[in-house]
Structure 1
Amino acid sequence: MKQGYIQVYTGDGKGKTTAALGVSIRSLVAGHRVYFAQFIKGVQTGELSLADSFPQFTIVQYGEGRFIDGKPEESDIVAARNGLEICAEVLRSGEYDLVVLDEVNVALHYGLFDESEVIAALTGRAPNVDVICTGRYASPELVEEADLVTEMKKIKHYYAAGVRARKGIEF
């Protein structure tokens, strides 16, 4: 049985979700099953259609489809907590080879659930399951728990020049 590891992609640079999607595709073409949970997100994005091409790819959004600016609304908390509960079961089941908790770091930052709950879900996973946690604001505790941590650092971004998010590139 293979050993699963915890990876964290964090930082203020672009590419955290994109990197997790890249690993997901690599895993899918190797014949693995992937569960991709998106916290906070709840809008139509390009990656949602991956399931049309890969039946072993499951993607679920646990968000209200809006940015949280300051204090989250109760519906944001309910959606995230429900998602984490489902993800904890998915992690325990061992049914998937790779589980991505997209934007889980941001959900933690906004207090949508407790860090102890996330750590318990990660440490309670089946031993063969790899996990990727994405989002800005990775906590020191999550970084300590992880086996691999990558920080995306923004050096330059075309958003500063007024370029808006582009379909197929940013979403």
Structure 2
Amino acid sequence: MEKGYIQVYTGNGKGKTTASLGLSVRAAGAGFKVLIAQFMKQGDYSEIKALERFSDLITVRQFGAGGWVKGKPSDKEKAQAREGYALLKEALTTGEYDVVVAEEGNLAVKYGLITLEEMLGLMEMKPEGTELIITGRYAHEEVMKKADLVSEIQPVKHYFADQGVKARVGIEK
């Protein structure tokens, strides 16, 4: 890729992860190598199964302890996030990947799993030819300021909040 940018997908609406996954599939279709580092996630999500079909071009790694952080992060959650941060740093330093996704990176900053300075450092070290995608609610103002593209996804109507519908396999998980 000649020129890569920094994209941030944030907001309270549904679709941040979906957007980053769609971009990842599109990039793989163009022959780009993609790394998706999922903070705060651990489990057998449907997208993981689907992306295994593109394993020659898309690498997915999860760095969660099996559930969302509630309150102060546990030592296990912190250790998982440190591994995710180290992988992202390595991926951006080596230039092995054309597209690097820090999935739920904004939440990792919000909950102190990685520092704001570390996230800004990742953004700074991004090679010219690499696209960096950062997803998750609560994007810090400094992250948004440094990004080239920010999409804020807001709910207008959502069956989860409005009707109590749980996450469905193949649609939300």
- TM-score normalised per structure 2: 0.95
**Number of residue pairs aligned between Structure 1 and Structure 2:** 171
| 1:106 counterpart residue number | 107
Indicate the residue corresponding to 1:153 in structure 2. Answer: 154
Query: Does 2:14 align with 1:20?
Result: no
The offset of 1:86, in angstroms, is 1.3
In structure 1, runs of 5+ residues without a counterpart are none
- The alignment yields a C-alpha RMSD, in angstroms, of 1.0
Q: Percent identity?
A: 45
- How far apart in 2 are the matches of 1:52 and 1:140? 34
Q: CA deviation at 1:127?
A: 1.4
Q: What are the superposed Cα offsets for residues 67-95 of structure 1, whole Å, 9 maximum, x if unpaired?
A: 11211111111110121011111011111
- The letter for the 2-side match of 1:84 is Y
- Give me the whole-angstrom Cα distance separating, in 2, the residues matched to 1:165 and 1:114: 29
Note the alpha carbon deviations across 1:8-56, whole angstroms, 9 max, x for none. 0000000000000010111011111110010000111112123431121
CA distance in 2, matches of 1:31, 1:100: 16
Equivalent residue for 1:84?
85
Residue of structure 2 equivalent to 1:140:
141
Asked whether the 8 Å contact 1:41–1:66 carries over to 2, the reply is yes
Match of 1:93 in 2: 94
Q: Distance in 1 between matches of 2:126 and 2:144?
A: 17
Rounded to whole Å, the distance in 2 between the matches of 1:38 and 1:110 is 15
Q: Report the alpha carbon displacement of residue 4 of structure 1 after superposing the two structures with TM.
A: 0.8
1:32 pairs with 2:27: no
Q: What secondary structure is seen at the aligned counterpart in 2 of 1:44?
A: coil
Unaligned runs of 5+ in 2: none
